[in-house]
Structures are given as structure tokens and as C-alpha cells.
Amino acid sequence: MDGSTPAEHARIVELLWDRRERPRSGPKPVLSPELVTASAIAIADAEGLAAATMQRIAA
């Protein structure tokens, strides 16, 4: 590759995908991208891809 270390690669991915934790006031969000993705996959596996709508995933 380019001689970068795994830690440098992780930092690059973090910067590109803007995965930094931002300080926020108030309650912590209940949902995360990981939870939404897992819900979508579970619905699609059980009922087919057409059933995995945003409305259904949010329910």
C-alpha cells in the first residue's frame, strides 16, 4: 500500500466518514446508524427487500 500504519488508516477513515463523537447537550440519541442498519437487514431478511421501507424501519 502506501506505508501507512493501521492507526493512520483508521484516522483517515474517521476523517472521511466524519465518525467523530461530537459533544451535545441534552439526552443522548436512542438511534444509531448501526441500529437502523441492523433493523433494515432484519426486516429485509424476514420479509424481503421491498418491505424494508424507512417507515417500516422506523416503527
Q: What is the pLDDT of residue 19?
A: 67
Res 31 pLDDT > 80:
yes
Residue 49 lies in a domain: yes
Mean pLDDT estimate for the chain? 85
Q: How many CB atoms lie within 10 A of CB 48?
A: 9
Residue 53 lies in a domain: yes
Res 25 pLDDT > 80:
yes
Do residues 11 and 4 lie in contact, with contact meaning Cβ atoms separated by under 8 Å?
no
Report yes or no on whether pTM surpasses 0.75. no
Residue 1 lies in a domain: no
Phi, psi of 25 (to 5 degrees): -90, 160
Residue 34 lies in a domain: yes
Of residues 46 and 1, which shows the higher confidence score? 46
Residue 27 lies in a domain: yes
Of residues 4 and 49, which shows the higher confidence score? 49
Angle at 52 between CA 50 and CA 31, to 5 degrees: 170
Over residues 6-18, mean pLDDT: 82
Domain hosting 33: range is: 6-58
